[in-house]
Chain A
Amino acid sequence: MSDHGPSSLKHGERHNGDVNPRRKFVGQRVTRLEDPPLVTGRGTYVGNLNFPHQLHMRVVRSTYANAIIRSIDTSAALAHPGCRGVWTGADVADIPPITFRPTSIQGLEPYRQYILARDRVRYVGEPIAVVFADDPYVAEDIADLVTMDGEALPVILSADTAPGEFAPGLSTEALVLRKNFGDIESALSSAFKVVEVDVQVGRHSGVPMENRGALARIDHSRDVLECYGQGKRPHAHRDAVATLIGRSPASMHFYEGHIGGGFGVRGEIYPEDVLTCLAAQRFDRPVKWVEDRRENLLACNHSREQRHVVRGAFDKDGRLLGIDAKLWHDQGAYVRTHGARVPDMAMGTLIGAYHVPSYRTVGYVRMTNKTPAATYRSPGRFESTYACERLMDAAAEQFGLSRIEIRRRNLIPKEAYPYARAMEILDHAVELDSGDFAGLLEKTLVDIRWDELQAQVAARRAKGELVGVGMGFFMEKGGLGPVDGAKVTVDTKGKVQVITGASSIGQGVETVMAQIAADALGVEYRDVKVIHGRTDVLEYGIGSHASRATVMTGGATRMAALNVRRKALEFASRHLVEAPVEMLDIVDGQVVRIDRPGEPGIPIGKVAAALAPSPATVEFGNPGLTAEGWFETAGMTHPYGIHTALVKVDPDTGETKVERFHVAYDIGCAINPMLVEGQIVGGVAQGLGGALFEEFVYDERGEPLSVTFADYLMPTANEMPPVDVLLTEDAPSPNNALGMKGAGEAGITGVGAAIAAAIDDAIGIPNAITRLPVTPQRLKALLKQRGAVPA
């Protein structure tokens, strides 16, 4: 850990202990190491993998949104000549419901999902049976022959109406979450003004290009059940699935291969993953399952559907005295991997970047007859940022302040960091590690040429155009710990292997780890090979989620590489070079003497060869040029940013066109700015989806209507505005030596807030937008209702 205050740190000056300050690759826009197979058609996605004699599994899904299962008729399916097996809930009665991650939140157990429905179905798309065949087409033919007779029950489709019955004696209100600090009652009673907003985010989700899939088999040579196609958290999920199907974790391994997008939804513990592994075990044949897009939209986790009622108590200057917030979270039909993580985070992060002396929040976590919901990129924060920023915009209007000024008055001042809040998020105490939000705001205004932009907007408005600008300020979180490990090994050719527990879901983790390892060790980054997403080569790993991999796995990789470096230098000092270790360095893969520049060095491959097992190397300590490294962190990192959108509204059609989008983001330390920018632009695209296009819509009977890409509208290249990114490193995290904070979610968090604000501005109606996505139909109706266009 650095003993400097964060503000005193500058790149190139940082050091801790024996750390070299070298930054040859860290911070550079080096090209991605992982791309060649991806752009030459050599990807190993699970769909590309096959084993001899494999079975294909097809899931039969409920067509009822809520029903008691009277019977499931499998006779026609079993009579099909190609059928190798049909299972219903009765056939997997020994498998417990799917677990969620450890949490201190109690009471969610009764809401878990069985891998195949028993007695009752609660959403259209719920697995009720699986069929097995030698061919995926035949499996689909057979699946069509399975029929369910159900007694339909009334459906519950919203979380903010009265709760009903999940099961006899069990409410659909699974949980009421509360967080409090400070004296909110006196804040409300003493306030000069209490400003209230009532806003909703629509149901949408991460929709990766690659659908979910799994391929499982038993390798009898090792007595190991292998499962391919698992991204995100291979170790934790291996342990969970092994427990569910009655194997020891050590007799089961997960491999992720290539993953076509994660976004929170991929790589969760879904019924289908458990079924695939169980089937491989029971049939003792390889079993492959790959969902189609319709299934993906029906059965992969949904997210985001929340209503927030937020009241802000302000003093006479527009400074917050407290926030009182209620949230209704539509959890869908079951509680899956994440328990109550999303509403918990939404509640914990709602007050965001602002100094809020008192806070009270209640979250009603309610079950509905829709697809189960869980995390999607920036879970809880996209929603809460939108709610909080709607409040700040409303307050600006009521106080007659500019939307920027109201924020300036409420941002946490730079001097206040580290900034503790007397509450927990995900069982962790909240302490914002570092920040200079006001500084970022000023840089943003310069970068977007705020005055010029305002003048342009005013000129266009004078000509009758409905153009407007909106901003969304957000506090993110990353670097979820507490501990991650890595192992670095140098081979006799001088090539470096880094084994990590991270997961590569398209974000560039191989390149980033290679950059970090290369600088720590003193080699070329292209000589570093990064292994990820395998449970068989590293005992522990946390995977990739919550913007954590660069911080945590990067921290561990750096420690391991530094340990290897130290070992190489100590061994060289003792056995290969007549020089004390202080006089040695590794530069471009050569052990060199600092005092004799230009003298040929010893390639580290030779050091590795010399470290091969021998009496001398055993005597030295342990053979091999290899070392592990462990990184631990006390707290999360808190990167932050500002999104700015310029939009134009077409009053005739209600269409919103996003003309420009700007993201300012303080990342602490950008290992590879090019990759960060890529992450941000991708995040903006997804955010625009949630703000303007994407919504899982259900009819009044609970029938999902958004089950193809003709109905679930994701923004395409045509809808994407140019995105400008301003990356700053003004507030490095004190929690790790490089100051890293995480990049995965920065592009999406503030989009809903910025777009809503920009549309308000464009149509000239403050706080008009209370519901996302803003579809043309809804906006046109709003314009007519508010008299902005002829009725």
Chain B
Amino acid sequence: MKAGSFEWHPARSADEAVALLAEYAPQDGRVIAGGQSLVPSMALRLAFPSHLIDINGVEEFSRVRVEGGDLVIGACVRHAAFHAPVEPGPLGRLLTQVVHNIAHYPIRQRGTFCGSLANADPASEWCLVAATLGARMVARSVRGERVIEASEWFQGIMTTALEEDELLAEVRLPLLPAGSRAGFYEFSRRAGDYALAMALVAWRDDGGTMREVRIGTGSVEVQPRRITVAEALLEGRVASPDAIAAAAAAVSADVDPLEDIHTTADYRRDLVGTAVRRAYAQAGD
């Protein structure tokens, strides 16, 4: 469990980082931020990057800010940054609720929000947040900058729309409007484990009626996604346990669950319905 040899390239600015990436990506170069997935992969010799472009020293990447109705999260913002709300609205509260489900405290001090998005593990909480709330990913390279919608970003298990020479410089999460409610639930074998299923439910409360309903699932299929048939069942409806149960059943029916030696599709299908109901129950006001 000792990594193979590699060359380490510390970047001090975003421009330097993308320049290094342009140079080394074709030679098996990878970006490293928190390294909480990459380093174990290297130690297990599942990943053998020849070059690591270390972006931890890029000061602008460590910032999180509100800009133009978005929460903008830089490439090196750690999970732990969300332990307390980063903005006073419902989004800040939701992210604080979600972050405590991510791995363990020491990992959250090092791992990054954008790293999770770039890694695109089907069980990533942040990927579920991004997919459900419609995040936009800002990819930067020596060729320039482009914005990738969440609906385009995820392309299967641990696969994204990011090009080899591109760096995920920031993620833009739209703020939830006033009056929004959002809840998250995941089930895992132990605290901090990868979830077996998770759900995020968000809506705007319009005098008891649910508007702009979003229901997303993660850890169930190859990538997180919104379950629009279930959202439609709630849109414009009065929130009630029965309505939510119907939506949860619709989610269970709609998903195409991953299977493994422990976990059948049937089990995950059940579980994701439970996750939707409990996410709704968790939704703070």
Contact = CB atoms under 8 A, between A and B. Distances in A.
A718 B189 contact: no
B263 A777 contact: yes
Nearest to A790: B270
A697 B260 CA distance: 12
A713 B45 contact: no
B193 A713 contact: yes
A713 B189 contact: yes
A726 interface: no
A715 B267 contact: no
Interface in B109-131: none
A719 B1 contact: no
Nearest to B274: A652
A715 B189 contact: no
Interface string A739-776: 00000000000000000000000000000000000011
Nearest to A705: B261
A653 B274 contact: yes
A137 interface: yes
A710 B193 contact: yes
A294 interface: yes
A473 interface: no
Interface string B242-283: 000000000000000000011110110011001000000000
A699 B261 contact: yes
A160 interface: no
Given A136-B2, A292-B1, A781 B190 contact: no
Contacts of B274: 652-653
A775 B45 contact: no
Interface string A710-744: 10010110110000000000000000000000000
A157 to B, nearest CB: 12
A319 interface: no
A693 B261 contact: no
Contacts of A293: 1
A315 B189 CA distance: 43
Contacts of A775: 189, 262
Contacts of A288: none
B187 A719 contact: no
B61 interface: no
A141 B5 contact: yes
B157 to A, nearest CB: 16
A191 B274 CA distance: 48
Given A697-B262, A777-B262, A708 B44 contact: yes
Contact of A776 (B2, B45, B189): B189
A708 B192 CA distance: 15
Contacts of A144: 45
Contacts of A713: 189-190, 193
A34 interface: no
B4 interface: yes
A780 interface: yes
Nearest to B40: A708
Contacts of B267: 654, 777, 780-781
B191 interface: yes
- Of the four ranges (under 10, 10 to 19, 20 to 34, 35 or more), the interface on chain A belongs to 20 to 34
A537 B192 CA distance: 47
Interface in B1-49: 1-5, 44-45
Contacts of A699: 261
Best-buried of B196, B264, B270, B271 by chain A (most CB within 10 Å): B270
B45 A719 contact: no
A710 B194 contact: yes
Given A716-B190, A718-B191, A775-B262, A780 B1 contact: no
Nearest to B187: A653
A142 B192 CA distance: 35
Nearest to B263: A777
Contact of B270 (A137, A295, A652, A693): A652
Given A144-B45, A777-B263, A655 B192 contact: no
B190 A715 contact: yes
Contacts, number: 59
B270 A140 contact: no
Interface residues of B, number: 24
Interface in B142-201: 187, 189-194, 196
Interface in A489-508: none
Contacts of B1: 292-295
A708 B187 CA distance: 20
A775 B260 CA distance: 14
B191 A716 contact: yes
Interface string A252-295: 00000000000000000000000000000000000000001111
Contacts of A697: 261-262
A204 B253 CA distance: 36
Best-buried of B44, B193, B262, B274 by chain A (most CB within 10 Å): B262
Nearest to B43: A292
Nearest to B191: A718
B105 to A, nearest CB: 11
Best-buried of B5, B45, B267 by chain A (most CB within 10 Å): B267
A655 B263 contact: no
Given A652-B270, A776-B189, A777-B267, A140 B262 contact: no
A269 to B, nearest CB: 24
Nearest to A135: B2
Given A137-B5, A294-B1, A780 B270 contact: yes
Contacts of A652: 270-271, 274
Nearest to A137: B2
A719 B66 CA distance: 38
A745 B196 CA distance: 33
B190 A719 contact: yes
B190 A693 contact: yes
A780 B266 CA distance: 10
Contacts of A137: 2-3, 5
A47 to B, nearest CB: 13
A777 B5 contact: no
Contacts of B261: 697, 699, 705
B4 A719 contact: no
A279 B227 CA distance: 61
B217 to A, nearest CB: 15
A63 B189 CA distance: 28
Contacts of B193: 710, 713
A114 B191 CA distance: 41
A705 B263 CA distance: 13
A713 B192 CA distance: 11
B218 to A, nearest CB: 16
Nearest to A652: B274
A402 to B, nearest CB: 33
A713 B190 CA distance: 8
A154 to B, nearest CB: 19
Contact of A294 (B3, B44, B262, B271): B44
Contacts of B3: 137
A718 B190 CA distance: 8
Nearest to A139: B2
A776 B1 CA distance: 31
Contact of B271 (A136, A140, A653, A708): A653
A718 B263 contact: no
Contacts of B5: 137, 141
B191 A655 contact: no
Nearest to B48: A144
Contacts of A140: 2, 4, 45
A655 to B, nearest CB: 7
14 contacts: A136-B2, A137-B2, A137-B3, A137-B5, A140-B4, A144-B45, A294-B44, A295-B1, A699-B261, A705-B261, A718-B192, A719-B191, A777-B264, A781-B266
Interface of A: 136-137, 140-141, 144, 292-295, 652-655, 693, 697, 699, 705, 708, 710, 713, 715-716, 718-719, 775-777, 780-781
Q: Which 4 A-B pairs have the closest CB atoms?
A: A292-B1, A718-B191, A652-B274, A137-B2
Given A294-B44, A713-B193, 11 more contacts: A136-B2, A137-B2, A652-B270, A693-B190, A697-B262, A699-B261, A710-B193, A718-B190, A719-B191, A777-B267, A781-B266
